[in-house]
Chain A
């Protein structure tokens, strides 16, 4: 018997017991749909997170105090002197721009409306380094910095909370921790990012923040943003920064007491995390596929028992072991393949729905059903059908013709 024939016969046989075949297929459908949806959600999460990080600019480096990988005793804080050292064109030729930031949570109010938000004390370079634009007004300039001016830029979300609108707020006066600040500009919307909403933010001059709002002792800096000359200079810039800071912090041996993070590091970290997350979800979904497979085995065993006489007859008419084996394996793999195909459709629908729900909740998140996920699911489903079909099929093939024909 050739394969086409076997498939036709198997379809006929599955068709003759529609409800049972349908329920068996359902087990696989659920398993495959779950795998597809989970992989799609994982993949979508990965794309969203890495996309958000990449959106920050690929030649950007972040410098933090402390070491996230190794234990360091008494890490020295980053200071303005460190910032100045990084600006040195001779020691750090790959560095284009340096922007120190101090930040903290503050209460902002405007005629009765109140909001808690992040305040960033920044320098004019910050706009360049982080690629910030204003939709109205202007950014903080050197005069504001020198004069410790009481001026502020509002993120669109903060403006919305305080004023109920996202324009025409320049010239108003808001209170930050009770102190009056004149609004000089409105930041353009950047949407949600890897570190929470980038629109829920207030920016004030670095010096003002240091002395009056966040009150940092000495010249402490929370984060230093460094822009490398180009994306290709990121590695050099990282080395230069490390060298400068090590010598300034007097570290001869042992680990750094600071951390330089590049865009790439963030992307890698996010990839690893979402990758583990995807495998975990996919694994759980895989278990339901396994359960579906056991369902197939169960039904095939019932079917073999029910059709014992038929098997005996086929053998009497000249069917070899191999023919019977192929017949039952074809049935079980058809069951799982059909389940796989329908499951892919359902999984796609589920991930589409998840995407819609995310969109409705203002999370730009698109689950993506990859070709590899489809291939994987189809292969896995068919393999499940084959694997769980082998035992029942073997049982059928090894029946003795006489015994099988006598079976009632």
Chain B
């Protein structure tokens, strides 16, 4: 196995069963992503982009097919192992930020470190991470005291904190105005450029897709252009 391949999927399918009806969200998706790549996933609404992202982020298991993350077969790991993979190898960025509203930016960013069982230097690392997204002066602000763009930057700082192998962003700019959206894209691009982090972005916006090295297109649960 190539050490520079960070993600490899083999015929991944996902079928949702809703009573009598079966929804085939993914119908056999195979592709590879090199370490250090930045790419976008596009496709019409309902084509299975979020479903694929959830599987890549180990939030969900494929119905069939194999998924290797960082050389490990994760498609049949147990719950606790998956939790650890999510904690250490994956950084999530959601469309709706998903910050804990009661907690400060600092505590939000620290959270993955807590679940990693790290006790020493959490605060310093969290501050470091917030600095990297340009929020050094907002560490004690709560999400409600931050703009949408700033909230998304906190989310990026949180995704970064454990130095994950991949960062998954599902429509990260979907809830933002174009200016903040641009800022967020800047941060993601510079992350990829300066740290070599693998970044996967789901987007409907062609200008965003154009900034990435590669575009994967999904339609009805299938890849349009191969890998």
Q: A residues bordering B, Cβ < 8 Å?
A: 1-2, 5, 12-13, 16, 309-310, 313-323, 400-402, 405
Q: B residues bordering A, Cβ < 8 Å?
A: 54, 57, 59-60, 79-80, 83-84, 86-88, 92, 94, 98, 100, 102-103, 111-112, 114-117, 119, 158, 162
Chain A residues contacting B79 (CB-CB under 8 Å) are: 320-321
19 A-B Cβ contacts within 8 A?
A1-B114, A12-B102, A13-B102, A16-B102, A309-B98, A315-B59, A315-B86, A316-B59, A316-B86, A316-B98, A317-B87, A317-B92, A317-B112, A317-B158, A318-B116, A320-B79, A322-B80, A323-B115, A405-B59
Partner of B80, one of A2, A310, A320, A402: A320
Q: Are the C-beta atoms of A314 and B115 separated by less than 8 Å?
A: yes
Chain A residues contacting B119 (CB-CB under 8 Å) are: 2
Q: Which residue of B lies closest to A316 (CB)?
A: B92
Q: Tell me the smallest distance from the CB of A16 to a CB of chain B, in Å.
A: 5
> Given the interface contacts A1-B115, A1-B117, A323-B115, does A317 sit within 8 Å of B102 by beta carbon?
no
Q: Are the C-beta atoms of A318 and B57 separated by less than 8 Å?
A: no
Q: Which residue of B lies closest to A321 (CB)?
A: B79
Q: Are the C-beta atoms of A318 and B102 separated by less than 8 Å?
A: no
Which of A309, A320, A322: most chain B Cβ within 10 A?
Answer: A320
Q: Are the C-beta atoms of B60 and A318 separated by less than 8 Å?
A: no
Q: Are the C-beta atoms of B115 and A402 separated by less than 8 Å?
A: no
Q: Which residue of A lies closest to B162 (CB)?
A: A318
> Given the interface contacts A12-B102, A16-B102, A405-B98, does A316 sit within 8 Å of B57 by beta carbon?
yes
Provide the bound-state CA to CA distance between A319 and B114, in Å: 9
> Given the interface contacts A402-B60, A405-B59, does A317 sit within 8 Å of B54 by beta carbon?
no
Q: Tell me the smallest distance from the CB of A4 to a CB of chain B, in Å.
A: 10
Q: Are the C-beta atoms of A319 and B102 separated by less than 8 Å?
A: no
Chain A residues contacting B111 (CB-CB under 8 Å) are: 314, 317
Provide the bound-state CA to CA distance between A405 and B87, in Å: 16
Q: Which residue of A lies closest to B102 (CB)?
A: A16
Q: Tell me the smallest distance from the CB of A322 to a CB of chain B, in Å.
A: 8
Q: Which residue of B lies closest to A400 (CB)?
A: B60
Return the 3 tightest CB-CB contacts between A and B, nearest first: A318-B87, A318-B115, A320-B83
Q: In the complex, given contacts A320-B80, A320-B84, what are 4 additional A-B residue pairs having Cβ atoms less than 8 angstroms apart?
A: A316-B92, A318-B112, A318-B116, A402-B60
Chain B residues contacting A317 (CB-CB under 8 Å) are: 86-87, 92, 111-112, 115, 158
Q: Which residue of A lies closest to B54 (CB)?
A: A402
Chain B residues contacting A309 (CB-CB under 8 Å) are: 98
Provide the bound-state CA to CA distance between A361 and B64, in Å: 81
Chain A residues contacting B92 (CB-CB under 8 Å) are: 316-317
Q: Which residue of A lies closest to B85 (CB)?
A: A318
Chain B residues contacting A318 (CB-CB under 8 Å) are: 83-84, 86-88, 112, 115-116, 162
Q: Tell me the smallest distance from the CB of A98 to a CB of chain B, in Å.
A: 80
Q: Tell me the smallest distance from the CB of B49 to a CB of chain A, in Å.
A: 14
Q: Are the C-beta atoms of A315 and B98 separated by less than 8 Å?
A: no
Provide the bound-state CA to CA distance between A359 and B84, in Å: 65
Chain B residues contacting A405 (CB-CB under 8 Å) are: 59, 94, 98
Chain B residues contacting A316 (CB-CB under 8 Å) are: 57, 59, 86, 92, 98
Provide the bound-state CA to CA distance between A12 and B108, in Å: 14
Which of B84, B102, B116: most chain A Cβ within 10 A?
Answer: B102
Q: Which residue of B lies closest to A398 (CB)?
A: B79
Q: Tell me the smallest distance from the CB of B115 to a CB of chain A, in Å.
A: 4
Q: Tell me the smallest distance from the CB of A110 to a CB of chain B, in Å.
A: 80
Provide the bound-state CA to CA distance between A367 and B222, in Å: 78
Chain B residues contacting A400 (CB-CB under 8 Å) are: 60
Partner of B60, one of A310, A322, A401: A401
Provide the bound-state CA to CA distance between A37 and B19, in Å: 55
Chain B residues contacting A402 (CB-CB under 8 Å) are: 54, 59-60
Q: Which residue of B lies closest to A397 (CB)?
A: B79
Q: Tell me the smallest distance from the CB of B152 to a CB of chain A, in Å.
A: 14
Which of A1, A16, A316, A321: most chain B Cβ within 10 A?
Answer: A316
Q: Which residue of A lies closest to B159 (CB)?
A: A317
Provide the bound-state CA to CA distance between A268 and B60, in Å: 67
Q: Which residue of B lies closest to A16 (CB)?
A: B102
Provide the bound-state CA to CA distance between A20 and B115, in Å: 28
Q: Are the C-beta atoms of B59 and A319 separated by less than 8 Å?
A: no
Q: Which residue of A lies closest to B81 (CB)?
A: A320
Which of A12, A318, A401, A402: most chain B Cβ within 10 A?
Answer: A318
Q: Are the C-beta atoms of B114 and A5 separated by less than 8 Å?
A: yes
Provide the bound-state CA to CA distance between A100 and B138, in Å: 93
Q: Are the C-beta atoms of A313 and B98 separated by less than 8 Å?
A: yes
Q: Which residue of B lies closest to A5 (CB)?
A: B114
Provide the bound-state CA to CA distance between A310 and B115, in Å: 14
